[in-house]
Amino acid sequence: MTITLNGNTIDITAPCTIAEYRRRIGKTNIPLMVKLNGTFITEKDHEQAALQDGDVLTMVLFMGGG
């Protein structure tokens, strides 16, 4: 299936949740802000949030500072 990730079109193997995609790319141990089709998805919901063909996914590294 094809999704748009941070403005880039990519092909991924279905079925896939946000959590599974994060495992595939090795981004499980860093805090990310995630939007799926314009809706923020909390980290506790990543396991249930299934990606579909044509979805728009935005993943942004969350950084704090002072």
At 10-45, the pLDDT tens digits run 999 999 999 999 999 999 988 899 999 999 999 999
> What are the respective helix, strand and coil percentages of the chain, to the nearest 5?
15, 35, 45
CA neighbor of 24 nearest in space, from 5, 8, 38, 42: 5
* CATH at 8: 3.10.20.30
Q: Assess if residue 12 is contained within a domain.
A: yes
Q: Model confidence at 66, in pLDDT bands (50, 70, 90)?
A: low
23 vs 66: CA distance, rounded Å:
30
Q: Assess if residue 66 is contained within a domain.
A: no
Do the Cβ atoms of 21 and 1 come closer than 8 Å?
Answer: no
Query: Tell me, what's the pLDDT at 23?
Result: 96
Q: Assess if residue 48 is contained within a domain.
A: yes
pTM for the predicted model, two decimal places: 0.89
59 vs 65: CA distance, rounded Å:
19
